[in-house]
Amino acid sequence: MNTKLIYYFLFCLVTGTTVYILQHFSVPLPKIINHYLNDFLIVPIVLFISLQTLRWSKNDKNYTLSLGVIIYLCLLYSILFEFVFPKYLARYTKDYVDVILYFASGFIFYQLQKSDS
């Protein structure tokens, strides 16, 4: 298993959880952290959990997610969270920067996973 990928996942998980806790307690955060950081962190978290689940279910420790699957997940997040949900749920706002962040973090995940091969 790629230790860089594990560290990236743990960094994303701990950092994202910390941001959510701070937001819950109304701790003032810089706008870039408050509005963008968790959008950057969510894709690697989901991809890592998916990868581990697939490795376990296929009984293949070397299984990797294809670039197509990663792009699909980033596209799905972009469509749902930036176009669909903002139409119907006040909690969500359309922000094109988030789309870039989804794909950037997906690309980093892909590169780290590829370095394991």
Per-residue pLDDT reduced to its tens digit, 7-30: 999 999 999 999 999 999 999 999
Token code pair at residue 109: 């995940």
The total of other beta-carbon atoms located within 10 Å of residue 35's CB is 14
Contact in structure between 74 and 106 (CB atoms under 8 Å): yes
Per-residue pLDDT at 48: 96
Per-residue pLDDT at 109: 96
- Sorted by where each begins, the domain ranges of the chain are 3-116
Mean pLDDT to the nearest integer, 81-102: 91
The total of other beta-carbon atoms located within 10 Å of residue 98's CB is 21
Q: How confident is the model at residue 92 (pLDDT cuts 50, 70, 90)?
A: confident
Mean pLDDT to the nearest integer, 31-38: 93
Query: What pTM was estimated for this model as a whole?
Result: 0.90
